[in-house]
Amino acid sequence: MKGMFEAVIQRMRVSTAPVHVLLVGGGSILVPDSLEGVARCSRPVHFGAANAVGAAIAKVAGVVDLIELLEGKDELAVVRDASQKAVNEAVRKGAEPGDVKVVEVLKVPLPYAGHRATRIIIKAVGKLAIPDPSSFEGHAERSNADEDGEEVDSAEEAIEKIHVPDALESVTKPSLSVDIELYRPTVRRGTWYISEVDLEFIATGTGVLGTGGGGPSYLEMLKAMETLRSGGEGKMRVISLKALKDSETVVFGSWYGAPSVINERVGSGSEISTGINALTKLLGIDSFHAMLTDEIGGGNGLSCFPTGVLYDVPVLDGDAMGRAFPTMYHATLYVYGNPLTPCALADARGNVSVVMSAESPLRVEGLLRTTAIELGLGCAVCARPLLGDAVKKYAVPNTISQAWYLGRAVHLARQKKTSYVDAI
């Protein structure tokens, strides 16, 4: 138990300096006075009643989160109606009706949807209402009946108990449960089999390599983790560019549009595979052997992992940019003259548009951008598959490994409470 307390305190610390721990609640009597990294443990007067006091003074909140089409409507009337719903929700939860006030109104336009679609979030709070004493009479009678030995309702006995995950075990931060200094990835016969810890490290590293671009990598990390947990173990793997044969075919696929839209708009998960299937059918390609990430920076640094599992092909340890860039023609493969077309765009509804040819990579980018706007700025782009000899010659090597090492350095610095910048 002492070790559990020390581990929790270690996660909360912001530096290596000893901390002062304030202990409250009935369970605080179980905490030893001497803990590693703690200068002093204190228990204030009436520490055992802290939870009850906090519950008594806390306000009751009601929150409404909805999407409204404001075109042709009175916006103020829509907000007033939503505010009343928030107030009613707070009252339903036990707030004093006369004390409830709206404390937050947030309106977020959704540019990828028409008819002035707007997300409206409203929060109302009020003090806890004091219940009528007469309302407890029926409860007291039922309690006395139970004490007299009457049988409990059979419906309650039939309720199936469900497993509740341990709140201390993070489902999105697996590195918290391992010793980062001792952790080693699983590599067998030249193939790196990805784990959840690896994904967390890579996601952090791609954020660094994004240099402020490419969008956040958190959502792509969650997608990859879900794929790994639902049958991807052993299929999600990385191989070196050197392991690729010159005659083997490599496919590409990444997210294209506006990162804010891609992270907000609900996707189907099949956008990249839809684009790949369209190109392979068009070009008469029966099979392919690996995937290459278009850009290692930002969310696209992990976009190939779920698709690689779908096709059961490895992801190559490299990318076509070495960081994040805003356009397709910045990729090293096309800078050195490799063909970009035919190039496909696919959205969540299965719509596919293919640029068959264009006078220059710059023109391809213009055509893709115009189509992406029509598709809602949240779609996948898949460039022409290439052979292994071109990929090995012009791709930026070892960038997934680089992202892993950068992510590991950041997480180790967090664990040790040292500078991220120095670690990088």
What is the rounded distance in angstroms from the CA atom of residue 325 to the CA atom of residue 396? 14
Q: What is the dihedral of CA 255, 261, 266, 267, to 10 degrees?
A: -20
What is the rounded distance in angstroms from the CA atom of residue 338 to the CA atom of residue 394? 9
Of 124, 89, 278, 295, the C-alpha closest to 207 is: 295
Strand 290-293, strand 315-319: pairing? parallel
Let me know: does 173 contact 196? Beta carbons within 8 Å: no
* pTM confidence score: 0.77
Q: What percent of the chain has pLDDT over 70?
A: 91
Phi-psi label, residue 68: left if phi above 0, alpha if psi -120 to 50, beta otherwise: beta
Cis bond before residue 44 (omega within 30° of 0): no
Q: What is the pLDDT of residues 167-177, one digit of tens each?
A: 667 788 999 88
- pLDDT over threshold 80, residue 131: no
Of 273, 330, 327, 277, the C-alpha closest to 303 is: 273
What is the rounded distance in angstroms from the CA atom of residue 330 to the CA atom of residue 297? 13
Region 31-49: mean pLDDT is: 87
What is the rounded distance in angstroms from the CA atom of residue 410 to the CA atom of residue 424? 7
Let me know: does 209 contact 402? Beta carbons within 8 Å: yes
Write the DSSP string, 225-259. Answer: HHHIIIIITTTSEEE-GGGS-TT-EEEE-EEEE-H
DSSP state of 319: E
Region 398-421: mean pLDDT is: 94
The token pair that represents 91 in the structure block: 């009252």
What is the rounded distance in angstroms from the CA atom of residue 181 to the CA atom of residue 188? 21
Let me know: does 411 contact 180? Beta carbons within 8 Å: yes
Region 38-56: mean pLDDT is: 85
At residue 280, the pLDDT reads 97
Region 148-153: mean pLDDT is: 52
Residue 179: how many other CB atoms lie within 10 Å:
8
Written as one letter, the residue type at 82 is A
* pLDDT class of 28 with cuts at 50, 70, 90: confident
What is the rounded distance in angstroms from the CA atom of residue 25 to the CA atom of residue 179? 31
Residue 277: how many other CB atoms lie within 10 Å:
16
Strand partners, 192: 187, 238
Q: 148: burial class by Cβ within 10 Å (0-12, 13-18, 19+)?
A: exposed
Write the DSSP string, 61-79. Answer: EEEEEEEEE-TTS-HHHHH
* pLDDT class of 49 with cuts at 50, 70, 90: confident
The token pair that represents 325 in the structure block: 């860039």
Let me know: does 302 contact 220? Beta carbons within 8 Å: yes
Write the DSSP string, 75-114. Answer: HHHHHHHHHHHHHHHHHHTTB-GGG-EEEEEEEEE-TTSS
Give the CA distances from residue 150 to residues 47, 155, 157, 293, 338, in Å, rounded to whole numbers and listed in that order: 38, 14, 14, 66, 81
- pLDDT-wise least confident of 53-57, 190-194, 280-284, 386-390: 53-57
* pLDDT class of 142 with cuts at 50, 70, 90: low
What is the average pLDDT score of the chain?
A: 89
* pLDDT class of 145 with cuts at 50, 70, 90: low
Give the CA distances from residue 59 to residues 80, 89, 120, 124, in Å, rounded to whole numbers and listed in that order: 22, 13, 22, 10
Region 283-301: mean pLDDT is: 96
Q: 232: burial class by Cβ within 10 Å (0-12, 13-18, 19+)?
A: buried
Q: What is the pLDDT of residues 201-240, one digit of tens each?
A: 999 999 999 987 788 899 999 999 999 999 889 999 999 9
